Amino acid sequence: MVTRTDISEARQRLAESDFLLVDIQLPDELPPEERPIVHQLGLESERLTWFGREGEPARAEFLGDRAGFVVPVINGDEVTHVHVVVTERQLITVHRGPVKALEGLTGRLGQEQPADTAAVLFLLLQDALETFRRDAVQSLLAVEDLEDEMFERRRPEQIFRLARLRRRAALLHHVLLPYLQVTDELFTRRMLSRSFPEERQRLAREFQHSSRLVLTEIESLQDAARRAFASHSSLVSGEQNGVINRLAIVSTIFLPLTFLTGFFGMNFDYLTNELESRAVFWLLAVGLQAIVLFIALYVLHRTQIWRRLRDEEGPEGPEGR
């Protein structure tokens, strides 16, 4: 059986019947003087005082006749932590706000028909992993599409979108890795115990295998984001090199004028007495400039430097990048 309720009715329903899954949605803020949720539910345990408390890190604890978990779930753009307590008769989940993964779990129970609460627990853990996998795959595809767009036409907003995707990858890795560490330690210890049933060992191994695959996909997302940043840096460097080359060409063309300006600006007797006619000035100023310009254009044409610069700009010109 499955029931969804609030904290005020949960204890009564737990006492009336052995529910398979009891899902409790808490308000966003609890009164500071309110008793711990574990006491309100009648689950008297000193080691479960963290149950339902906001801000708890990822947990996986075996407490003899029960086990407690704090399971991170990707819920839209946010990370929601679902607190879980499982016994041989009941599985209790506590969270703040709606969680889509738990809503989907209800439909899977009728299809999977789990044998006991432990099987339901592993279904919940697998669904939580699936939210990370879907988010990682979606972000990876977005990074690849963004990288293709950058090669077609680079725009300033692309670097901001790429930075957001990179931060998303870091968030997924930062949240999932500690959770997988604590669950792996718990399941490894339990599998070493002879009292741990074979079927539950199989479910634990499947979860560990799935968790490694999801972690690998998140790391692939991080690698893809780093490659996209490197591609963006290469594109920017190529454009800067083109600008520097064009500036160097322009500087070379106008270098004679700079030389003449400095040359005729010196107050030597020879310059002021011998090179004072207009003919000499026009010969040196215009003639020398024309000669250097002709030589520069000839060198550019022979070495095909100008053609390479034009090809690097592309059909849309420098503004299209």
Taking the domains of the chain in order of start, what are their residue ranges?
Answer: 2-234, 235-320
d(CA 245, CA 255): 15
Q: How many alpha carbons lie under 13 Å from residue 305 in its C-beta half-sphere?
A: 14
Q: How far is CA 95 from CA 14, 238, 250, 260, in A?
A: 17, 51, 67, 80
Cβ-based neighbours of 163, under 8 Å, separated by 6 or more: none
**Digitized pLDDT (tens) for each residue of the chain, 321 residues in all:** 566 665 666 666 666 666 567 778 777 665 555 666 766 776 666 778 888 888 888 989 888 888 899 999 998 888 999 999 888 888 888 888 888 877 777 777 767 777 788 888 999 999 999 999 999 999 999 999 988 888 888 788 888 888 999 999 999 999 999 999 999 999 999 888 888 889 999 999 999 999 999 999 999 999 999 988 888 888 788 777 778 877 877 777 777 777 777 766 777 666 666 666 777 777 777 777 778 778 877 776 777 665 665 565 554 444 444
d(CA 282, CA 279): 5
Residue 104 near residue 188 (C-beta atoms within 8 A)? no
Please tell me the predicted confidence (pLDDT) of residue 321.
44
For residue 23, what are the β-bridge partners?
4, 93
Beta strand ranges found along the chain (DSSP E)? 2-5, 21-26, 59-62, 67-75, 78-86, 91-96
Q: 172-194: buried (b, 16+ CB within 10 Å) or exposed (e) per residue?
A: bbebbeebbebbbebbeeeeeee
For residue 21, what are the β-bridge partners?
2, 91
Please tell me the predicted confidence (pLDDT) of residue 191.
86
Whole-angstrom Cα Rg for the chain: 35
Please tell me the predicted confidence (pLDDT) of residue 216.
95
d(CA 31, CA 7): 13
DSSP 35: P
* Amino acid (1-letter code) at residue 107: G
d(CA 289, CA 287): 5
Length of the chain: 321
DSSP 284: I
d(CA 140, CA 83): 29
Please tell me the predicted confidence (pLDDT) of residue 26.
78
d(CA 61, CA 186): 7
| Coil, strand or helix at 2 | strand
